[in-house]
Structure 1
Amino acid sequence: MIDAADLTARLIRCPSVTPQEAGALVLLGDLLTDAGFEVRRVDRNGTPNLFARWGAKGARTLGFNGHTDVVPPGDGASWTHPPFSGHVEDGIIWGRGATDMKSGVAAFVAAAIDFVRETPPDGAVILTITGDEEGPSRDGTAAILDWMEANGERMDACIVGEPSNPEIMGEMMKIGRRGSATFTVTAKGVQGHAAYPHKARNPLHALTTYLNDLIAVPLDQGTDHFDPTGLQITSIDCGNPASNVIPEAARAVVNIRFNDLHTAASLQADLTARAARVTQATGVALTIQTQVTGEAFLTQPGPFVDLVRSVVALETNRQPALSTTGGTSDARFIKNHCPVVEFGLVGAYMHQVDERVPVAQVRQLKTIYQRILERYFE
């Protein structure tokens, strides 16, 4: 049997800060190959990725997804134990990636290996593991899915092993995520002396009028599975050091985390229409640049969601809430391929100094994943 806690510590000892592979995928690839998985590296543009399948191509398939890259540890002197030591003491594993998410990867790799060895299923198990989730994410899970489509590989359902529980194992699983889009609004006016405003067009006045319009009324009241859309102004700047000069241009950044009432395109159309009205009223030209991180999506409750939820409830004695909270994850790519849910550890220490996870929690997660595999292929 594979000890998921020991595998977590071994993965932590690979200093795989995005985009470095640092031996993490090599370690997993060797383990999976020895267990009879067909293993392929699916690197793209220097980004390290791993695909592994046990069973026949085209058979009924359950997939798992995760990442071995981690964020930088910061000042190592601030850590109780070195951030890439994988130190284990008093039932705790310490190190960068202990929570997010080398433990999740270790748990589903260990579960998959033990499952196919002990009870070979009438079907297939696919594992997709990237080294680019914490970075740009352009050539990570998206690259694996592109390769799968080109090579006739398919998952019928997938579990992403990201930390999903806020405080206690079993309290929450994710069945969707809000979309995320960032809008950079530039206002171009006419520079002038503050004492002669009639000879200028103040871009800040137009921009603040526009921003006030955005925040005056909520974009919606939420839906059955999503909270209300959140709009945050994260930056306003004109680069003007002089108090007696009306600047020529000003810029604001707006981040919107949106529910399934919207798409990035519908929000862009709304913000652009509002900008046109302010431009017409003020003579200050407002232009908008849009960067989309991900669209909102929802995996509708049904047999797959019920299966995962029932196993989590059985193993933790808690009925997990079906949530769509939090930021983005690689589930935003997988939702175009197959139904996807997220369940993993408690995320209390992710990205923090002294990131750590209880050994018992990692082993419990492996058990949950193995029970899901057993139930799925019954």
Structure 2
Amino acid sequence: MDVSRLCAALVAIKSENPPGDTADVIEYIRDFLDARGIPALVIDTGSGRSNLVTRNPKKKLLFCGHVDVVPAGDGWTHPPYAGVIEDGSVWGRGATDMKGGCAAMLAACDSMVEEGRELPADLAFVCDEEAGGDHGIRHLLRENLLFPCDCLIAEPTPARHPCIGQKGLCRITVDFTGTPGHGSLYPVVGVNAIMEAMGFLTFVKSLSDRRYPLDGNLQNLITASAGAFSDEFHIPDGNRILERITFNPGVIAGGEKVNIIARHCSLGLEMRIPWGCSIPELVREIHGHVPSGTVNVDTTSDPTLTDPEGDFTAIVSREVEKVWGGAVFPILQWAASDARHLRRAGFNVIEYGPGEISTLHGIDERVSVTSLEKAVRIYRGILEAYSSKNSTS
């Protein structure tokens, strides 16, 4: 099977989130599986937000991917939903994140089924990773449609570095309240809600100077991950990213009129939480720095980690090394994905997939044909390993 053409076909099916309508791409995958005798169940949570799981999941391995993509925007060399294959790459929105990984998983399964062999993995393709997963992986978990096992998510990663853990997440909205008056009298008179928000952000900025206690093994893993970041992304201080709180005040709105002391200001803040930091304690401290407003906690999740010495990590790393060679070792990730929900539900999760990570969520997103083909070989090797495990269990 030509995995690049399969990837291009998936890219050509628009599935932006928002709005999150994945019905067409999920139907394409269902038809693909039906043609190979792999029964699947489609679950629609409304407005075309469709997910797919293989029926009666009970295998020791789960292949998982999301089919929603972020909006494309303008300025592309090739139309973002044309699925162009050119210059050794598949171009388009979602090629790297993560329809390339989904295509490679499907192609690996196809190669095993073509040999008349039983597939040793269940499959799940979900609709809502880019918006938090409530209609996607979290829905499948709530409905008991998936059961804890070893899970490989085909998120794009550095070629030689499976991802076995990720920082935590805390998203909050803070609403500040001021005392209005004539703008010409401030700061002698009144309380300006916008200035209160600025003062709060000074406190938030100071959080990134804190360090948290780590055991030796975790510290070594962070140091190795930082080296991989430096090589792959040219990030000079990967240790700081993984060891400390990073933050982004992503949305702010406030004020009523330029000559009125602002009575209202709302701030949307996201923080990525390192190992060793207590989110409940952090939230309590934040409350103490908002005397004239309210703090609403929107989303939290603690840092998660799959055993770096476990059998699953060893299997994935071994198959990656067979294909790519060189120094292969697992790393930690600063971002969030469906992995956090699955780990919290008892799954052993590793992320590994093809992609040009520098183009992820950017203009001219693409995935190289070489990385797609190598991912198929790696996924096939993992399937072989679990096929052997099933035959000896």
- TM tier, shorter chain? 0.7 to 0.9
Indicate the larger mover: 14-23 or 338-347: 14-23
Q: Does 1:139 align with 2:146?
A: no
Matches within 5 A, 1:147-158: 147=143, 149=144, 153-158=146-151
The amino acid of 2:102's aligned partner reads V
When the two chains are superposed, the root-mean-square deviation of aligned CA atoms in Å is: 2.6
User: 1:209 and 1:79 mapped to 2: Cα distance?
Assistant: 40
Indicate the larger mover: 112-121 or 95-104: 112-121
Deviations 1:133-155 (A, max 9, x none): 223532111122233x2x5x524
Aligned to 1:164: 157
Q: Does 1:230 align with 2:246?
A: yes
The amino acid of 1:341's aligned partner reads I
Unaligned runs of 5+ in 2: 223-241, 389-393
- The counterpart of 1:268, out of the listed 276, 283, 307, is 283
Matches within 5 A, 1:180-259: 180-193=169-182, 194-195=184-185, 200-204=190-194, 206-217=196-207, 218-221=209-212, 223=214, 224=218, 225=222, 226-234=242-250, 238-239=254-255, 241-242=257-258, 245-259=260-274
Q: CA deviation at 1:182?
A: 2.2
Q: TM-score, normalised by structure 2?
A: 0.81
User: 2:87 and 2:192 mapped to 1: Cα distance?
Assistant: 62
User: 2:294 and 2:63 mapped to 1: Cα distance?
Assistant: 42
Equivalent pair of 2:315/2:382 in contact (CA under 8 Å): yes
Q: CA deviation at 1:312?
A: 0.9
1:291 match: secondary structure: strand
Aligned to 1:48: 50
Structure of higher CA gyration radius: 1
Q: CA deviation at 1:331?
A: 1.1
Matches within 5 A, 1:1-378: 2-18=1-17, 19-21=20-22, 23-46=24-47, 47-53=49-55, 57-58=57-58, 60-75=59-74, 78-118=75-115, 120=117, 124-147=120-143, 149=144, 153-165=146-158, 169-170=159-160, 172-193=161-182, 194-195=184-185, 200-204=190-194, 206-217=196-207, 218-221=209-212, 223=214, 224=218, 225=222, 226-234=242-250, 238-239=254-255, 241-242=257-258, 245-275=260-290, 279=291, 285-292=292-299, 294-301=301-308, 302-337=310-345, 338-346=347-355, 347-378=357-388
Indicate the larger mover: 253-262 or 101-110: 253-262
Residues 6 and 222 of structure 1: CA distance in aligned 2, closer, same or farther (over 3 Å) = farther
The amino acid of 1:83's aligned partner reads P
User: 1:31 and 1:351 mapped to 2: Cα distance?
Assistant: 27
Q: CA deviation at 1:204?
A: 5.0
Deviations 1:230-275 (A, max 9, x none): 13444555425435x5333334343211023235433322211343
Query: Percent identity, aligned pairs only?
Result: 29
Residues 289 and 118 of structure 1: CA distance in aligned 2, closer, same or farther (over 3 Å) = same
User: 2:22 and 2:204 mapped to 1: Cα distance?
Assistant: 42
- Number of aligned residues: 355
1:348 match: secondary structure: helix
The amino acid of 1:298's aligned partner reads L
Between Structure 1 and Structure 2, which shows a larger proportion of helix residues?
A: 2
Deviations 1:91-137 (A, max 9, x none): 3222222211111001011112322443735x841110012222353
Q: TM-score, normalised by structure 1?
A: 0.84
Q: CA deviation at 1:50?
A: 0.7
The amino acid of 1:163's aligned partner reads P
The amino acid of 1:108's aligned partner reads M
User: 1:57 and 1:213 mapped to 2: Cα distance?
Assistant: 48
User: 2:248 and 2:324 mapped to 1: Cα distance?
Assistant: 36
Equivalent pair of 2:212/2:275 in contact (CA under 8 Å): no
Aligned to 1:282: none
User: 1:359 and 1:175 mapped to 2: Cα distance?
Assistant: 25
Equivalent pair of 2:180/2:261 in contact (CA under 8 Å): yes
User: 2:248 and 2:91 mapped to 1: Cα distance?
Assistant: 35
Equivalent pair of 1:42/1:143 in contact (CA under 8 Å): no
Q: CA deviation at 1:186?
A: 2.5
Indicate the larger mover: 228-237 or 42-51: 228-237
Q: CA deviation at 1:315?
A: 1.0
User: 1:135 and 1:67 mapped to 2: Cα distance?
Assistant: 11
